[in-house]
Structure 1
């Protein structure tokens, strides 16, 4: 016997156009069982989705919004309506856990699970209400369409700007240590300094990032067409307090 969440995940793979054989190899579930779920006439029982409404936790939502704009998407699901997926690199297991926690705080009661891919895990949650919480959802890639926050979203970002920045950095940013050399008292010395980068193809998403930095008094510069850099010591210091290296 398989629980409902296992069947839901398997049906989601079918909805992606996967073959019975490939799903069976990945999940260990027999082709016969998968086929029976696919053709059964009566609907599978499922969790009752929370009623639509604002995020249950604005603090967590600001972080999740940053993750979504960087590495998230919303896709159709044949049974639950839609599912939210956030890509989290295997190199940062702590971020995967933070993502799961943010989802459950934003929508208490929804199911959350991870689907392992090459080099990353897709943190996934089913709910018919995700498009209401992320109205930036639409056809095509984010950088190919207009991305503008709704007034209620902007109000949350204004109230929790560091969480929004943290989500963006955790998805499409990094903290690195640069180095250079200086001659001091006739001796060449190595000098290291940390800096933050945020990289995104979307002009609109980069603007949301820089506008929020401006509101926090953080100095930044456009490193190139797709990269925003924070390197001044006085600006890196608060970034380290609120964000720090990925883990």
Structure 2
């Protein structure tokens, strides 16, 4: 007979109706540990209170649209923030969108609906822009990078499960980062050919972020998809430009991202 682990024994006793305290005493484990085991067992079986009002990959092992999530992750890292429950009863994720790009605003709202299908996004008008918001108690689960202070003043690193999603859906993350803190522009230069001044135009992508960690996430992902890039000299305000100008790399970015709209 296969010997059951202490956790398996605890779960069986809890399902049989015994209290957390009785199980903790019987198995000589902390009561908090038993409570966590019970929570995970109820979550696995979809029996947590309020379960029908929320979805969560981390708590309930709910399915997740990986491409929509990595896009939303890029938006959050670039220009998003989560308001802490101390200020609001329920945490809310806000992505600030320029009114000049209504298509991006629509994409942000659509991604929120795909990642959190049981939560309704809203738009809050501000001068020249809108905050696209969604409320959920599980936002810290989806975005563990959330914390006090500015992003560039603290460590920003992807959790292993997030990196796995980025590896599977790299263009979602890149698109979100470009839509938040990047752009596609047309540069131009002149040169004289046979006495005639000719103007040459060429597109390129820029990404600017003060956080070295977020820039590293961006450039590591560019490397993974085969996009060549260069970093410029730091700007006076502390930001660094990541430039993509090689024709083949720009064409690849155009295929998957394109200009804001």
TM-score category (smaller protein): 0.7 to 0.9
Deviations 1:59-102 (A, max 9, x none): 10010000000111111346753111111111100001000000
The answer as to 2:68 corresponding to 1:60 is: yes
Distance apart, 1:54 and its partner CA: 5.4
Contact 1:65 1:167 in 2 (8 A): yes
The answer as to 2:175 corresponding to 1:201 is: no
CA RMSD of aligned residues (A): 1.5
Find the counterpart in structure 2 of residue 116 from structure 1: 125
- Summarize the Cα distance change of 1:108–1:194 in structure 2 as closer, same or farther, 3 Å threshold: same
Indicate the SS of the match to 1:105: helix
Contact 1:197 1:230 in 2 (8 A): yes
2:53 to 34, 48, 68: 48
2:95 to 86, 97, 117: 86
Find the counterpart in structure 1 of residue 77 from structure 2: 69
- Summarize the Cα distance change of 1:169–1:200 in structure 2 as closer, same or farther, 3 Å threshold: same
- Summarize the Cα distance change of 1:131–1:55 in structure 2 as closer, same or farther, 3 Å threshold: farther
Larger Rg: 2
Q: Which moved more, 1:52-61 or 1:112-121?
A: 52-61
Contact 2:55 2:62 in 1 (8 A): no
Find the counterpart in structure 1 of residue 247 from structure 2: 233
| Residue correspondences, number | 201
- Summarize the Cα distance change of 1:122–1:48 in structure 2 as closer, same or farther, 3 Å threshold: same
Which whole-Å CA distance do the structure 2 matches of 1:54 and 1:154 have between them? 18
Which whole-Å CA distance do the structure 1 matches of 2:203 and 2:258 have between them? 10
- Summarize the Cα distance change of 1:79–1:232 in structure 2 as closer, same or farther, 3 Å threshold: closer
Distance apart, 1:50 and its partner CA: 2.7
Which whole-Å CA distance do the structure 2 matches of 1:212 and 1:89 have between them? 25
Indicate the SS of the match to 1:81: coil
Find the counterpart in structure 2 of residue 136 from structure 1: 145
Q: List alignment gaps of at least 5 residues for structure 2.
A: 1-51, 235-239
Runs of 4+ in 1 over 6 A off after TM superposition: none
Find the counterpart in structure 1 of residue 200 from structure 2: 191
2:108 to 95, 99, 124: 99
